[in-house]
Structure 1
Amino acid sequence: MKSIYSTVLTLIFFTISCNSNTTNKDNSHKEQLTQEQLETYETAYFASGCFWCVEAIFESVKGVKEVVSGYAGGKASTANYKLVSAGRTDHAEAVKVYYDAKVVSYKTLVKVFFGSHDPTTLNRQGPDAGRQYRSAIFYKNAKEKQIVETYINQLKKDKVFNGEITTEVVKYTAFYDAEGYHQDYEANNPNNPYIKGVSIPRLKRFQKKFPELLKKKAH
């Protein structure tokens, strides 16, 4: 009976995983900043499960100007969804966050990162399992590394999480943008089963936990 129950759960998780039900829906409704404008802002790189979820969370944070879904931390010299989802490149689904450092600090983004997922589940986040869904922070310099390590040490000291924090803290090397249909996926596909069952609830939990970090809604 136990094995049958486990099989059923696995099938349910698979049907609503980040690796299913992708569509090519246009996302041109979103106002886009030019690359020249984006380059005036700071960047940060994070991975904490399905990038559909992570992108939406960081997009909701004030001071964040743009979030791009993509791939980071792999051994291969290139990456695409087919290869990464099959675990063939060791890349993680990640996001590139463009942010205004005058409005939101890197430390606050690290707070958003740890406050919006479970960093104790090794190579897994919710229904998504595999190295591509690992928890990781890709620091660009010694200052960012110190901020991350200090924050993790404080989390451990305060015993914020019951389990061991498995987040990889590694030097940033390269980031590959995900395919166009992955960008703004949650906003563009609100009726997708995974978005309704996993992404939106995860976003709402974060928003409820940190209302002071959210962008003001336009009236």
Structure 2
Amino acid sequence: MKKVTVFIFLLLGIVACGNKAKKATNTQQNLVNAEPVQVGETQRGFEKAYFASGCFWCVEAIYESVKGVKEVISGYAGGHTKNPTYQQSNTGKTGHAEAVEVIYNPEVVSFKTLVDVYFGSQNITQKSGQGPDIGSQYRSIIFFQNEKQKEIIDAKIAKLNKQYNNEVAAEVMPFQKFWDAEGYHQDYKKKHPNNSYIQNVSNPRFRKFKAKFPDLLKKGY
């Protein structure tokens, strides 16, 4: 009798987990088809843009070096889980990717230029990650808030696909919500210059970016 009872509980557990996975998959798919959320202007006319391209330590440092960018915040976006943590994101089950919020002055740097920086600072054809960071939480996603931004993104990808045989890996998603990462992730490259990951992964990626876009860099970079 005990064996039968245990079997029933195991069966119910499998069914429950299957239903949860199916629900998460459906919810994630709904995000792809959702209407984008438009983020309003901040004080002094600054705007916000959102990008995911591997480890947010790397991406944050890249965008912070661009003229016209006021601030960059590391966080999570693109998934179905509310209030995600770093530990949860690392499981790959939240749907989120490590992402950045770029606060910029559109009179100095355009969204189009930020898109150029995005694709010019990553391995365009790498799926589910960047460099040594592999998994859905490191996948490349570029977010749009309105149709104009989507047109800019689509035009850029169409141009790149001609060069890379239709192998551009980045997902294009309507922006929904950005969740700030924990405080210790913010400005990580600046605060931990001797960290082995920063020295061996972030710095080489940053140097490649600088070599491609010297005219976009702030003084001191």
Contact 1:38 1:98 in 2 (8 A): no
Q: Which runs of 4+ in 1 moved over 2 A?
A: 36-40
Whole-Å separation in 2 of the counterparts to 1:43 and 1:110: 13
1:216 counterpart residue number:
219
Report the secondary structure of 1:79's partner residue.
coil
Over alpha carbons, which structure has the higher Rg? Answer: 2
> Of 28, 53, 58, which aligns to 2:63?
58
What do residues 99-148 of structure 1 show as CA deviations (whole Å, max 9, x unaligned)? 00000000000000000001211102111000000011011111111100
One-letter amino acid of the counterpart of residue 200, structure 2: G
Whole-Å separation in 2 of the counterparts to 1:217 and 1:81: 31
Whole-Å separation in 1 of the counterparts to 2:82 and 2:184: 22
Q: CA deviation at 1:56?
A: 0.2
1:118 counterpart residue number:
123
1:201 counterpart residue number:
204
What do residues 50-99 of structure 1 show as CA deviations (whole Å, max 9, x unaligned)? 00000000000000000000000001122110100111211000000000
> Of 103, 112, 135, which aligns to 1:107?
112
Q: CA deviation at 1:166?
A: 1.2
State the identity %: 56
Report the secondary structure of 1:103's partner residue.
coil
Whole-Å separation in 1 of the counterparts to 2:53 and 2:129: 9
Q: CA deviation at 1:39?
A: 6.9
One-letter amino acid of the counterpart of residue 195, structure 2: N
2:48 counterpart residue number:
43
One-letter amino acid of the counterpart of residue 63, structure 1: G
What do residues 149-184 of structure 1 show as CA deviations (whole Å, max 9, x unaligned)? 011111123x1x367011100000000000000000
Name the count of aligned residue pairs.
181
Q: How does 1:147-186 map to 2 (within 5 A)?
A: 147-157=152-162, 159=163, 161=164, 164-186=167-189
> Of 92, 95, 98, which aligns to 2:100?
95
What do residues 176-209 of structure 1 show as CA deviations (whole Å, max 9, x unaligned)? 0000000000010000000000001100110011
Q: CA deviation at 1:45?
A: 0.2
Give the CA RMSD over aligned residues. Answer: 1.6
Larger relative helix fraction: 2
Alpha carbons of structure 1 residues 182 and 39: separation in structure 2 relative to 1, 3 Å: farther
Which segments of 5 or more consecutive residues in structure 2 lack a partner in the other structure?
Answer: 1-40
Whole-Å separation in 2 of the counterparts to 1:143 and 1:180: 33
1:7 counterpart residue number:
none
1:77 counterpart residue number:
82
Whole-Å separation in 2 of the counterparts to 1:75 and 1:83: 12
Report the secondary structure of 1:146's partner residue.
helix
One-letter amino acid of the counterpart of residue 93, structure 1: E
TM-score with structure 1 setting the length: 0.79
Report the secondary structure of 1:44's partner residue.
strand
